[in-house]
Chains A and B, each alone.
Chain A
Amino acid sequence: MKALKQIVLLLIVCPVLFIFSYPLLWLVTACFKSNREIYKPLILFPKEWNTSYFAELFSGKVIDFWGFMTNSLLTTTLQSLIAVFLSASVAYIFVFKEFKFKRIIFILAVSLILIPKQIMIFPLRELIFKMNLNDSLWAIILPGALSGIGILFFIQVYRSLPRDYVDFAKVEGASDTKIFLTTLPLILSPLLCCFMIHFILAWQQHLMPLLLLNDNQLLPVAMSSLLTSSLSYPLAVLMCAALMCILPSIVLFLFTYKNFRSTLSEQVI
C-alpha cells in the first residue's frame, strides 16, 4: 500500500519535474548541436556530438571569456563575503547590545529589504560617478555588500543562540569582537546559507552592470551583447557560454543544499 502510494505520487510529480527541467536538459545538449538542430527545440539529442564549440568559447576569440568569468566570480564572491560578514555583525549588535534609537534604526534597516535596489539605482549611479568608481568592479561590489534580508535573517539566528554563552563570555571579560568571532562557528550553517543566496542573487545582476560598467564587463551582461551581436559564430557557442554562466551557481548550490534545508526548517522565518 505504501509503496503503491509512492509510485502514484512519483507518477504525478515526474511530468511536472520534466517540464521544469526540460529547458536545462536542452541547454546541456544544445552545446553540442549544429545551428539547424538548435532551431528545433523538440529534438533533445543531437545526431553527432560536436565538442569543438567549447574550445571555441574558451579560446576567447568570440568574447573574452576568461576575463569576464574572473570579473564575475571576483565581484560576486567578494560582495557576498562582505555582505555576509556585515549583516552578521549588524545583527549581532541588534540582538546583544542596547543603544539609543535602536527601534528606529532597526525599522530603517528592515525597510531596506522591501525597497528593491532597482529603485535606488539612479541616485546610486550619481553617487558612484561622483566617487569616480564607474567602470571599476567596486561599483558593483560596494552597493551589493549590504543586504537587509541578511540582517533580518541573522537576527533570527542570533536570537536562537543560547544567550548564556554570550553572557558567560562577557562575565569572563571577553570583548564584543572576540565574542562575535568565536560565535561564528556556531552559526556556520546559516552563514553558508546566506552566502549562497547572496551569491546566486548577485550573480544574476543585470541592470547595475549595464549602467555602471563599460569595458570591464561581467559574464551575464557580456552574454546579452553576444546575443544581440549578429550570428557570425555558431549558436552552440552561445549555449556553451550560457551553460558556463549557470555552472557556478549550480555547483555552489549542490554543496550547500543540505545546509540550506536544515537552516530553513530550523529557523522558520
Chain B
Amino acid sequence: MSFDPQHPAQATSAFANYKTLFSDGLFSKAIKNTAVYTASCLGIIIPLSLCMAYLFSQMINKVKYTSSFILLLPGLFPPIVLAILFMNVFHGRTGLLNQVFIMPFGGKPVNWMSHPDYILSAMVIQSVWRWTGFITLFLLCGLESIPKSVKEAATIDGASKFQIFKSIEIPGIKHLIIFCAAFLFIDTFSLFAGSFTLLGPSGGTANAGLLMVNYAYKFTRFQEYNLASTVCVSMLPILMVLTGLFCLRRRKQA
C-alpha cells in the first residue's frame, strides 16, 4: 500500500510517497520527537522501577503486595481517563504540577500543554506515571524468584547489601529487565492514544508533541491512507532490528 502513489498524477516512481514524506519537515520532526520520547521514558522508568522493586522486596509480604498493587493502578487507566486527569496536573495556572513543584520555589508557572518546550516532558511524565507500576511488579516477582540461599551464602562470605544487589540480584533479573525494556520500547514507540487524547489530533503547539503514529493519523483526515501507511512502513526497520536483537539473545540463552 505504501508504494501506491497517493497522488497518481504527480507520481513518477513507486517511491513517490516516500519522497513526499522525506521532503516534509514534519516527518523528521516526528522521528526526532519519537526518539527523544522513547529514550527518556526508558531512561526514567527502568531505573525508577528497579529502585521501587528493590525497596518493596525488603518489606514484609502483606505490605509489599499491597503497595505494589497501589503503584500498579495507574497502569489500568485507559488513555482517555489519563488525559482527563492530566489536564488538571499540567494545567497552566491551577495545575497540580505548577502549584506543588514550581510555584512554591518561586518558579514561574509553566503551561505544560501548550508551551512547545514542555509538551514532550509532560508526555514523558504521563508515561512514567502509567508504566512504573507494571514494570515494578515484573521486577519484584523476578527478585522474589532468586533463591534465598544464594543471598545468604553471599552474606556469610561478607558481601555488603550493595554488592549483593549489584552482583547477584541485577544479573538474576537481567533477562527480565531486557524484556521490560523491549516491551516499553514498543509501547512508547508506537504510542498514539496518549498524545492524541492529551493534545488532540494536531500534535500540540508547533508540533512539539507530534509522534510517528499521530503523524500517520494526520493523513487520514484528508483520506490520504496510502501516505499514512507509508509512515507506518518507515517505522518498521527500527522495530525489525530490535526484533532481531531480541531473538538472537533468546537463542543464546537456549
Chain A residues in contact with chain B, CB under 8 A?
Answer: 5-6, 9-10, 12-13, 16-17, 20-24, 26-27, 38-42, 107, 110-111, 113-123, 125-126, 200, 203-207, 211, 220-221, 223-224, 227-228, 238-239, 242, 245-246, 249-250, 253, 257, 260-261, 264-266, 268-269
Contact = CB atoms under 8 A, between A and B. Distances in A.
Contacts of A206: 78-80, 192-193, 196-197
A204 to B, nearest CB: 4
What DSSP secondary structure best describes chain B's contact surface?
A: helix
Given A122-B232, A265-B145, A23 B193 contact: no
A41 B193 contact: no
Interface string B142-158: 10110000000000000
A74 to B, nearest CB: 16
Contacts, number: 182
B27 to A, nearest CB: 16
B55 interface: yes
Given A21-B70, A264-B138, 5 more contacts: A9-B58, A113-B186, A119-B235, A223-B84, A246-B76
Given A39-B94, A264-B137, A220 B242 contact: no
B192 A207 contact: yes
Contacts of A42: 96, 99-100
B65 interface: yes
8 contacts: A41-B91, A111-B243, A115-B236, A118-B232, A204-B193, A220-B81, A245-B81, A257-B65
Given A107-B247, A206-B79, A20 B179 contact: no
Interface residues of B, number: 73
Contacts of A211: 220
Nearest to A253: B76
B85 interface: yes
B228 A224 contact: no
Contacts of B196: 206-207
B132 interface: yes
